[in-house]
Amino acid sequence: MDDKTERMTALIEDTLREHAQPLQEYGNIALPRKDLEHIPQRDGTYTWRLVYWRFLGSGVIDIEYSPEDDTFTFNRKRDVRTTSDMQEVAEYLVERLEGIREGRVENLRTQAKQCAHLSPETALGRLKELTKDVFCGPSEGEMDLFKEFHREEREERQRPTIGWGQYHSDIRTLAEKVSALYTPDIIVPCMLGGLIPGAIMAKELGVQDVRPIDIEREDDERRLAYDVQGDVKGKKVLIVEDDIPTGKTPLLVKQIFEERDAEVRIAALYVTQDTKKTVDFYAEVRELLPHHPWKRFNRGNRLRT
């Protein structure tokens, strides 16, 4: 084995120790059967083979080195990429390890959704039964994650769905509460959930200026995706949401407008005991936030604000 091959072996092993082992400790990835298989080929090339386990099978990451060309090739059967930079090989391996982790988490989420009609104990038994013949079934950490996903899916199924008549009536109730204490110049619906109540609120309050805003959510982070148009300095702004599970989105929108010297209030149809303090007006406090009329056929994909 030449010097570069030895250094490449050390680099890959270091990368596995640094990135695969921490993921294993969190229970989101299975380490390979062997830390690393180093396979000399007849044509003078070397192949490093990393074998990892999915829920229902295994996968392989191949890294091939040709001393003659002084290049590395990743997974020659698919996703072919070639480089002479050793560090790029390590970066590629990290990228693949993260992809494995994300794939296993997505599998857990899918299984939890399919078992949402079952009790927690039965659902966990179903997961174990599904993976009993697989070398690397779910770890303790993954089973905890499955329980969390399953709980969320069951809560989603338990939430009531309200009809259009009740929905419209609650919007009018909210509009009456707002009109008694506040006269907005601009209504800002938070997309997408706030669009319908925002439009009806504008009609009820006689407000002509409606400017939607969009806040994207990634994990617990929020960022501005679509900003309102025009100047709002000195204006009275009413932020409208359908419901408030966490309060993070409307509070971020409020901060944005206050930094632009606008007077801001927040109105939402439905809040919980924990989130009612984040708004100025609400129609009703609910233990379980309802599915709105247009969401009844899309229960698994609601945006939590």
Domain boundaries, the chain: 3-157, 164-301
CA atoms of 269 and 177, how far apart (whole Å): 11
pLDDT for 188 equals 94
So what's the architecture of 164-301 in CATH? 3-Layer(aba) Sandwich (3.40)
Count of beta carbons in the 10 Å neighbourhood of residue 292: 20
pLDDT for 83 equals 74
Residue ranges of the chain with per-residue pLDDT less than 50: 22-35, 297-305
Query: Under a CB-based contact definition with an 8 Å cutoff, are residues 253 and 215 in contact?
Result: yes
CA atoms of 60 and 53, how far apart (whole Å): 9
pLDDT for 187 equals 95
Output the DSSP codes for 160-184: -B--HHHHHHHHHHHHHHHHHH---
Region label for 219, one of left (φ > 0), alpha (ψ between -120 and 50) or beta (otherwise) = left
pLDDT tens column, 232-288:
999 999 999 998 988 888 888 999 999 999 999 999 999 999 898 999 999 999 888
Give the torsion sign (CA, 184, 185, 191, 197).
positive
Flag whether the pTM goes above 0.75. no
pLDDT for 300 equals 42
pLDDT for 20 equals 57
pLDDT for 140 equals 74
pLDDT for 89 equals 78
pLDDT for 201 equals 94
CA atoms of 281 and 204, how far apart (whole Å): 15
